[in-house]
Amino acid sequence: MSARLTIALDAMGGDYGPSVVVPAALDYLAKTQGIALILVGQEALIAKELAGVRHDERLAIHHASQTVGMDEPPSKALRTKKDSSMRVAIELVKSGVAQACVSAGNTGALMATARFVLKTLPFVDRPAIITAVPSQHGSTHLLDLGANVDCTAIQLFQFAVMGSELVTAVEGLAAPKVGLLNIGEEEIKGNEQVKRAHELLVASHLNYVGYVEGDDIYLGDVDVVVMDGFVGNVALKTSEGVAKLLARRLGNSFKKNWATRLAGLAALPVLNRFRQTSDPRRYNGASLLGLRGIVIKSHGGADRIAFENAIRIAEKEIHSNVPERIAMQVASQLDDGRKRAAG
Amino acid sequence: MSARLTIALDAMGGDYGPSVVVPAALDYLAKTQGIALILVGQEALIAKELAGVRHDERLAIHHASQTVGMDEPPSKALRTKKDSSMRVAIELVKSGVAQACVSAGNTGALMATARFVLKTLPFVDRPAIITAVPSQHGSTHLLDLGANVDCTAIQLFQFAVMGSELVTAVEGLAAPKVGLLNIGEEEIKGNEQVKRAHELLVASHLNYVGYVEGDDIYLGDVDVVVMDGFVGNVALKTSEGVAKLLARRLGNSFKKNWATRLAGLAALPVLNRFRQTSDPRRYNGASLLGLRGIVIKSHGGADRIAFENAIRIAEKEIHSNVPERIAMQVASQLDDGRKRAAG
């Protein structure tokens, strides 16, 4: 299997463990050529999910005796769970057996373990979490989404470099438009870190378009939006909350009485297509950027369709050599700054 | 007119000035008894909007020669626009001619001017901006929404006290549930200010329910959510962005071809009702809390329906004596803390 590209899956992670990860792996393999998967976790539980299902040599099981809990403190996971499915999956990337891993396990533990096992790329101070969200013209990539609560200007700048390079690598955009999230009031504009990051970005070779605001994320006039992890986490969760509220209200509007139900029946195909195009599962799979290896975080509550999408993102990043490209880009941007400062 | 309750309107503020404020004022007066309105701004422009329209002595014009631009720096507005419609409207509150004012002008200038003219309440370090957003069970109040970029724990605590009291005053809830916005990852949970504010809130007499996350805002299990102004501004604008994107996508789904248009026709009454219940104009009107007077900020892009709603919020706050109640509550919570510390 060594010559073949391989993705390691943390089979125990997320709210549903093997009952979601195993079917997602099978769905993925049925549609894909040339990539092998390793299911990492408790062999008996994985085997049970595989019982009676036909699969070929592209699917392997790698036993790991422990599981990291969804609410387990990262430091505890790191110290006491050396044979967890999460850690072993990451170690398969470290050793080169796999070229990427995917986990729906707890974000803090995944980030801490990935950082400990794989290490950060040269000149990257802190890894960040990035994901795509839908926008009017396609999608927008947001980072950081919760890995870094208080960020310096330099860190925000590094996030911009990493995010830009990721979008170039996986979306094929030559010069992605990068925006820095800020608020719009003149006198009270931005905090000090954001203002300094802005100066760094203006001087950089990125395609930096300047400050953007919260609503710009969904307009799609910008490809990458940079913010600290606290703000990013709030922006993402708030978005989920609004989308859920509106979907529920829309559903309820059609359930009111027999007349509205009839109207709903007539509108059903259209409503279903709308739901499909706005399905958050299509965007499941956040990347941990800045590490010496590819680690994809799936939503903890992901179902098989959503988890399969996260595997697909891992595959995309393998094919486009994301870590190497980011390493090159970060070093190059840093060198530019050094030369500007010297010259 | 002195015995009557009066609201001063900045007729020049917002993207549309008198062409929205004047009709909104007339709509409001047609539906309301016992409140008078003063249109503050350039007399000629206001009179033009009023030409040929019947109105009674409840509507007055107060000339002000200057207008604050929507992008004008607050410090400049404060220094050079002493006869602006915005400033004069606030001064009418200060002098007691009006009991509240409403402006759709630029937020930074409005806050700076209101703070300068009216001053903050005793023991309030910084005023905050609060608004209601729709939730599954009604509405949730959010603060701060952009007035305060970097907040100390004490300031966040004061926001909680002010927000709780506002909801008690205007919604009639005896003990509103107060949440503190945070992110959910264990090790990387919150920044230092949020953690310290949490401790202050736990020790307080507020009905504090603990940390909440971005998606909780729209669930409605909590009545007030506290956060710093940077995060609040991003949360609000991001929410607007998502709602707009989904509305547009839903509309487009029905416009695809003749079959979907037909389905849309059948679903039209339901879709219209859905649009109505989710209409952001119903929530227009943010309150500047912590000042010695009532100041309501309308969205800059508000139309007459939205602006009328902001006037209605001003009326509600007059009837429930919001500034006095907040002053009392802030002083009382502070005294509690002092006694706990002493005892």
Pairing, β A35-41 against β A5-10: parallel
Is A44 part of the contact surface with chain B (CB cutoff 8 Å)?
Answer: no
The answer to whether A103 touches A39, Cβ cutoff 8 Å, is: no
| Average pLDDT, integer, range A185-190 | 56
Q: Please list every residue in chain A whose beta carbon sits closer than 8 Å to the beta carbon of residue B262.
A: 266
pLDDT band at residue A137 using 50, 70 and 90 as cut-offs: confident
CB contact (8 A) between residue B188 and residue A242: no
CB contact (8 A) between residue A187 and residue B74: yes
Q: Which two tokens stand for residue A238?
A: 């708030």
Is B158 part of the contact surface with chain A (CB cutoff 8 Å)?
Answer: no
The answer to whether A252 touches B278, Cβ cutoff 8 Å, is: no
CA triplet B36, B40, B46: central angle to 5 degrees?
A: 100
CB contact (8 A) between residue A269 and residue B248: no
ipTM for the whole complex = 0.85
Is A271 part of the contact surface with chain B (CB cutoff 8 Å)?
Answer: yes
Is A65 part of the contact surface with chain B (CB cutoff 8 Å)?
Answer: no
Q: Where are the alpha helices (DSSP H) in A205-303?
A: 229-254, 258-277
Q: Please list every residue in chain A whose beta carbon sits closer than 8 Å to the beta carbon of residue B301.
A: none
Mean pLDDT by 10 residues, chain B (343 residues): 81 96 96 94 96 90 95 91 97 97 95 96 92 89 89 93 95 94 68 90 94 91 95 92 83 81 79 75 90 96 94 96 92 79 70
Predicted confidence at residue A1, as pLDDT, reads 42
Q: Which two tokens stand for residue A307?
A: 């988890």
Residue of B137, B196, B242, B252 to mutate, testing the A interface (most A Cβ within 10 Å of its Cβ): B242
The answer to whether B100 touches B296, Cβ cutoff 8 Å, is: yes
Is A257 part of the contact surface with chain B (CB cutoff 8 Å)?
Answer: no
**In three state form, how does the secondary structure of B183-207 look?**
CCCCCCCCCHHHHHHHHHHHHCCCE
- Chain B, 167 to 206: residues with Cβ < 8 Å from chain A are 181, 183-188, 190-191
pLDDT band at residue A54 using 50, 70 and 90 as cut-offs: confident
Q: Which residue of B has its CA nearest to A236?
A: B214
- Measure CB to CB from residue B254 to each of A248, A250, A270 and give the nearest one: A270
CB contact (8 A) between residue B250 and residue A253: no
pLDDT band at residue A247 using 50, 70 and 90 as cut-offs: confident
For helices B192-203 and B153-171, the axis angle rounded to 10 degrees is 50
DSSP B297-330: EPPTT--HHHHHHHHHHHHHHHHTTHHHHHHHHH
CB contact (8 A) between residue B191 and residue A230: yes
Reported as a single tens digit per residue, the pLDDT across A256-305 is 788 888 777 777 777 777 777 777 777 899 999 999 999 999 999 999 99
The answer to whether A228 touches A152, Cβ cutoff 8 Å, is: no
| Average pLDDT, integer, range A80-87 | 96
For helices B85-94 and B107-118, the axis angle rounded to 10 degrees is 30
Is B229 part of the contact surface with chain A (CB cutoff 8 Å)?
Answer: yes
Within chain A, all domains assigned CATH 3.40.718.10 are found at 5-121+290-321, 128-280
pLDDT band at residue A121 using 50, 70 and 90 as cut-offs: very high
Beta bridge partners of B142: B131, B225
Q: Please list every residue in chain B whose beta carbon sits closer than 8 Å to the beta carbon of residue A236.
A: 214
Poorest-confidence range of A205-209, A256-260, A315-319, B338-342?
B338-342
Poorest-confidence range of A30-34, A90-94, A156-160?
A30-34
Is A136 part of the contact surface with chain B (CB cutoff 8 Å)?
Answer: yes
CATH for B128-280 is 3.40.718.10
Predicted confidence at residue A186, as pLDDT, reads 46
Q: Which residue of B has its CA nearest to A235?
A: B235
pLDDT at A320 over 80: yes
CATH topology of domain A5-121+290-321: Isopropylmalate Dehydrogenase (3.40.718)
Average pLDDT of chain A to the nearest whole number: 90
| Average pLDDT, integer, range A65-69 | 96
CB contact (8 A) between residue B214 and residue A246: no
Within chain B, all domains assigned CATH 3.40.718.10 are found at 5-120+290-320, 128-280
DSSP A136-181: TTEEEEEE-SSS-SS--HHHHHHHHHHHHHHHHHHH--SS-EEEEE
Predicted confidence at residue A2, as pLDDT, reads 45
C-alpha to C-alpha distances, B15 to A212, B300, B304, nearest whole angstrom: 20, 6, 12
CATH topology of domain B5-120+290-320: Isopropylmalate Dehydrogenase (3.40.718)
The answer to whether B189 touches B107, Cβ cutoff 8 Å, is: no
CB contact (8 A) between residue B184 and residue A74: no
CB contact (8 A) between residue B278 and residue A249: yes
Written as one letter, the residue type at A213 is: E
Predicted confidence at residue A14, as pLDDT, reads 94
Q: Please list every residue in chain A whose beta carbon sits closer than 8 Å to the beta carbon of residue B15.
A: none
Burial B33-44 (b: 16+ CB within 10 A, else e): eebbbbbbbbee
pLDDT band at residue A187 using 50, 70 and 90 as cut-offs: very low
CB contact (8 A) between residue A239 and residue B237: no
Rounded to an integer, what distance in angstroms lies between the CA atom of residue B294 and that of residue A55? 69
Place of tokens 């700048």: A157
Is B263 part of the contact surface with chain A (CB cutoff 8 Å)?
Answer: yes
Predicted confidence at residue A269, as pLDDT, reads 78
pLDDT band at residue A59 using 50, 70 and 90 as cut-offs: very high
Per the model's pLDDT, the better-predicted residue between B219 and A188 turns out to be B219
